[in-house]
Chains A and B, each alone.
Chain A
């Protein structure tokens, strides 16, 4: 906790760094010291993770009364549970008595949560229920004051469960703002929506949590370098041309998406949304989509994105073996969970349309695993190139000159061929090439704004 216990002036130890950040982002740069820094990490837990709407999972993961999964808000383990009353709650995993973890498994179904230390029992709604020898032990304990700590705000959109620990939080829809327009395009194309397949897969990487959003927010420029091996083996056709088949969509700070024109890049046979088979895409309902949304579906359909702070999205076609397996399009949400400066866990949820065939689900999950997972052919190379972020942050060089910044000037002012689309009908801005880092600047502006406000 960044609180001073002595001294009259509560100066923010990050004040100078954040002033530098503001000055530098205005020039398309950010100090390297925002990575790999203990004070920054600690402050992020309070100023970002404790105050934001945090994605925790999907309703399809806890369909029945009593179902629960163990998830995270920052470093805190939280139980996401469908209580006896049918309501989804987000409960702190620590017993109110001595802090023992009530739940030591990843998922299950429970009527109660019982502490193994002294036996305090809570209902699956979080209410304090009882304790051993309760009539002799707790004559005056008010159960209302000793229930499991609960996130004051829990809500869902398209089945995506979010919680906010701040007492005075905006609504989820207000927080997401124009991002909802994009979520409707990703998840809202069929009334039955999507479900999560299997538990989230998880693995630990030696990177700052921000390096994930930094990429999925719209790093179109790295694909034909980091992932060039995919070209060589014929899994990606001519990735050097990709930047001209890509759109960058940036809405209110911290929310960005990319779009691709598959027909232009892969060929005219790619004439269904995302290359879905007709028996799937023919079931989609476009009646609620506006002109801008239809233009996205037709010209530059959503492929990656990041939603403030740490929830990324990817939907892309692939196949583990082009010789014998037809391509299928996978949908993933991925969350970059902070563990320590320079250490994060990636959690990946794979989704399937409720209306698709089980055969297609299997193909698309297999394609998603093959491309983006701990063994993913794309993912593997990302894991390596992201390791430097947090290491350079504590390098001796920037500490000497106070001058070392990361360059986010791609598409900044006159630097690159990254023009906005003057005919864009959707929210925010759309850039017509991938030679840009507007999504990155978008993300860091939001970061600065959240880190500055106490």
Chain B
């Protein structure tokens, strides 16, 4: 698991690159909020993977030694490839995905965007914060799902593509009835 870059080599990233990547993330959030899931799927690289690791609360001393200590390996809340993501979206369009029928009403706020050149040519390490407001169905009660995301975004001849996403949630006990949505 790569560390979240808190001090990216931002000097090597141009303002244009930062704008492009910020627009990419904002557009992605809009597509997902609007349920334009196949349009969002088209922004994924063929070698796309994503994971939502499980977080536990540990003593501060352990987190000081390793900033990612609380994010355990071996199990996940979600762990996907492009292929399994396709199946998730197919399920949501099956007409029988009760979880999201009616759909959740979401607002994704993306902020705290940092962009750095990665070791791979044409790829960027991108860190962003997600605050996802979620309401569903008849009830007015809502949840805020909050996470730091570390992404690898690739510049291709067809535009930017999301290669890898790791979602570092603030939650140990996930505070929403299901993760039937994309973070």
Contact = CB atoms under 8 A, between A and B. Distances in A.
28 contacts: A105-B58, A107-B56, A197-B74, A199-B72, A201-B76, A201-B174, A202-B172, A202-B173, A203-B173, A203-B175, A206-B141, A228-B94, A229-B94, A229-B97, A232-B90, A233-B94, A320-B84, A321-B81, A321-B83, A324-B81, A366-B79, A373-B76, A373-B77, A373-B78, A373-B179, A374-B78, A374-B179, A380-B179
A383 B74 contact: no
Given A105-B57, A384-B98, 8 more contacts: A106-B58, A229-B95, A232-B94, A323-B83, A350-B75, A369-B78, A370-B84, A375-B77
B96 A369 contact: no
Interface in A105-128: 105-108
A198 B74 contact: yes
A47 interface: no
B59 interface: yes
B52 interface: yes
Given A321-B83, A373-B77, A383-B99, A198 B72 contact: yes
B177 interface: yes
Interface string A222-235: 00001011101101
A381 B97 contact: yes
Contacts of B90: 232-233
Interface residues of A, number: 45
Interface in A122-165: none
B54 interface: yes
Contacts, number: 139
Given A321-B81, A375-B179, A104 B57 contact: yes
B135 interface: no
Interface in B46-79: 52, 54, 56-59, 62, 72-79
Contacts of B174: 201-204, 374
Contacts of B80: 320, 370
B74 A325 contact: no
Interface of B: 52, 54, 56-59, 62, 72-81, 83-84, 86-88, 90-91, 94-100, 141, 172-180
Determine chain A's interface SS by DSSP, over half rule. Answer: mixed
Contacts of A399: none
Interface of A: 104-108, 197-199, 201-206, 226, 228-230, 232-233, 235, 320-325, 345, 350, 365-366, 369-370, 373-377, 379-381, 383-385, 387
A387 B74 CA distance: 30
